[in-house]
Amino acid sequence: MVETSPFPADTEHVITTSKVNFFYGATQALFDITMDIPGRRVTAFIGPSGCGKSTFLRIFNRMNDTISGTRLEGDVRINGEDIYENGSNVVRLRRKVGMVFQKSNPFPKSIFDNVAYGPRIHGTHDRQQLAEIVEKSLIRSALWDEVKDRLETNALGLSGGQQQRLCIARALAVGPDILLMDEPASALDPKSTIRIEDLIGELRNEYTIVIVTHNMQQAARISDYTAFFYEGHLVEFNATKKIFTKPREKQTEDYITGRFG
Amino acid sequence: MSRRRSEQITYFLIRLVMYFIVLVIGYILFDIVRHGLPALNWAFLTEYPRKSGSEGGILPAIVGTLSLLAGTILVALPLGICSAIYLSEYAEQNRFTAMIRLAIITLAGVPSIVYGLFGLGLFVLFLNFGTSILAGSLTLACMVLPTIIVSSEEALRAVPHGYRDASLALGATKWETIRTNVLPYSLSGIITGSILGIGRAAGETAPILLTVAAFYLPRLPNSIFDQVMALPYHLYILATQHPEADKVLPLQYATALVLLLLVLGLSLGAIIIRIHFRKKYRW
């Protein structure tokens, strides 16, 4: 599978993995995945349910650690640092690698306390400073205008789309470089989905974004690069335009043309 | 028989059972209130008993039961909640923890007299606490621990996983996550379950019979190493051991009523705490 690199010559790869195998107990979920993810670009993971794309995403902030009986082989580096090395600091890693989940999960606290949660646990307690972070994060996530007059109300009173943008604001508030998004719009109505996609478009120049999506149009709309996973294997990874116009692999073509999945 | 008909009959039977139970409990309550209320007055609550309980009040028994409850809560609540946190949040889910859970559930079903004997052996004799508030509280704490652990673990597990994930993904440690995003949301369930268990302990006679309760002790305790009278045991004495059981019948009823009100107060407290936390964290 030698080929010309899809990346421009000056591309900086922020996340690099080499021969990653992943196991849930005795079941192997990922096979020999070697992949370099470029910085300050949007990379989409697509593939049918159970293909391992979410599992692979959750490797980058070590969220799979919370599931007992899981095991990882291979090398995963973020900015050159081996994140699975013994003594590697998970708390510091997760500050740099934020995550937005499929099901929006704001805490049952006020909007302000949701966004301020991260900065607070990392040691910021000055009310003025917190207020600035909260405002900045909410502006970034395009939610500020809708909630600025009710920051002290319970976040669960927001609509589904607003809750998801709040979760993005909450992730941005700790100052990450990388944003992992696990099907962030799959539970939202079309209009809210568009807002999330627009938001990703606005964040793309400042953050390295990796997004798992079921929706191929979405991948085509918002991503620079697309990786297609199938049964735990990385089948194809290329510039999004190439994947959707001239896929190299038969399986990829079958999937994006809707022949299976 | 048509499906509609069988549906109606089932519904009727279930209602009947429910009414029957409400009726029985209602009658017991009504009987206690009817006979107990006339004998219940301020003096009864604040005076010492006289003539081995034939006259006077039940102040030492009230104080005794309250101090036993306080001791039980002080010991059992932190231990129970911590055990539940360990089981639900930290422990691996394997055969060993499954066995621990089975043991806890089994302990919840052990007859209370067994706890009494255990308390007598361990706290009164082996640890040499004597028959005392300390020994009684520890014995009652052992008895209610299983209930507290089981209900607390359930309350912790009911907290949606998304909160834990979100908190961890923001870089919180496990303990920070539990402290800020699991415990506060489950506290209403933990408190409710625990108080129900402790309310049951308030009415138990067997565990305190051998470890703390005094037959007749018309004074207040000075320290946790003192014996005390207790409401359920006092009631038992008046009803079965008193030479003039018939004459003291109104006092028995009044004592039962006080015990009931005490447990009711505990439950009310639990409800108020629950409403408070539900309002604060709605999910």
pLDDT at A87: 82
A229-233, A253-257, B181-185, B240-244: range with lowest mean pLDDT: B240-244
3-state secondary structure of A63: helix
Give B282's pLDDT tier (boundaries 50, 70, 90). Answer: low
Q: Is B26 exposed, middle or buried (0-12, 13-18, 19+ CB in 10 A)?
A: exposed
Residue B247 belongs to a domain with what CATH number?
1.10.3720.10
What is the token pair recorded at A175? 């100052």
Mean pLDDT of the region A256-261: 73
B107-132 tens-digit pLDDT: 988 999 999 999 999 999 999 898 89
The whole-number pLDDT of residue B279 equals: 78
What is the structure's pLDDT at A1? 46
Contact B267, B69 (CB under 8 A): no
Which helix (H) or strand (E) covers residue A227, if one does? Answer: strand A225-230
User: What's residue B283's pLDDT?
Assistant: 64
Q: Based on the fold, state whether residues B164 and B276 are members of the same structural domain.
A: yes
Chain B residues closer than 8 Å to A174 by CB: 170-171
Q: Tell me how crowded residue A220 is: count the other CB atoms within 10 A of its CB.
A: 18
Do B32 and B82 belong to one domain? no
Greatest extent of chain A over all pairs of C-alpha atoms, in Å: 56
Mean pLDDT of the B205-226 span: 84
DSSP string, A89-148: -HHHHHHHEEEE-SS----SSBHHHHHHHHHHHTT---HHHHHHHHHHHHHHTT-HHHHT
Query: Are B90 and B181 contained in the same domain?
Result: yes
* Count of structural domains within chain B: 2
Same-domain pairing of B7 and B123: no
**Mean of pLDDT values over B141-157:** 94
**Which residues lie across from B76 on neighbouring strands?**
none
Identify the weakest region by mean pLDDT among A47-56, A109-118, B197-206: B197-206
Share of chain B above pLDDT 70, in %: 99
Partners of B96 on chain A (C-beta within 8 Å) are none
- Shared domain for B258 and B204, answered yes or no, is yes
Check if B86 contacts A (Cβ < 8 Å).
Answer: no
H/E run at residue A38:
strand A27-38
Q: What is the DSSP letter of A175?
A: -
The yes-or-no verdict on residue A123 having pLDDT over 80 is yes
Nearest CA in chain A to B173: A91
Angstroms from B271 CA to nearest CA on chain A: 20
Q: Which residue has the tokens 């809210």?
A: A192
Give the residue among A11, A20, A12 at the shortest CA–CA distance from A58. A20
> Using a CB-CB distance cutoff of 8 angstroms, which residues of chain A are in contact with residue B173?
91
Instruction: Determine the 3-state secondary structure of B42 from DSSP.
Output: helix
Q: Which tens digits make up the pLDDT trace of B10-22? A: 999 999 999 999 9
What's the pLDDT score for residue A8?
A: 82
> Is residue B278 less than 8 Å (CB to CB) from chain A?
no
ipTM of the complex: 0.91
Co-location of B122 and B47 in the same domain: yes
Same domain, B28 and B161: no
Measure the CA–CA gap between A14 and A36, rounded to whole angstroms. 8
Reported as a pLDDT band with limits 50, 70 and 90, residue A86 is: confident
Q: Are residues B82 and B207 in the same domain?
A: yes
Closest Cα partner for B283 from A99, A234, A154, A7?
A154
CB of B283 within 8 Å of a chain A CB? The answer is yes
pLDDT value at residue A260 = 65
Range of the domain at B34: 3-39
User: For testing the chain B interface, which of A88, A107, A115 should be mutated: the one with the most B CBs within 10 Å?
Assistant: A107
For residues B31 and B151, membership in a common domain is answered with: no
More confident residue, A219 or A8: A219
**Residue B54 shares a structural domain with residue B65:** yes
What value does the mean pLDDT take over residues A203-232?
Answer: 93
Residue ranges with strand state E in chain B = 49-50, 55-56
According to the model, what pLDDT value does residue B72 have?
Answer: 94
Nearest to B283 among A103, A108, A170 (CB): A108
Instruction: For residues B169 and B211, state if they share a domain.
Output: yes
pLDDT for A3 beyond 60: no
**Which of A50-54, A108-112, B88-92, B239-243 is predicted with the least confidence, judged by mean pLDDT?**
B239-243
The residue with tokens 């009931």 is B260
Dist. CA B138–CA B143, nearest whole Å: 9
Which two three-digit tokens encode residue B264?
Answer: 């009711």
B178 and B240 housed in the same domain: yes
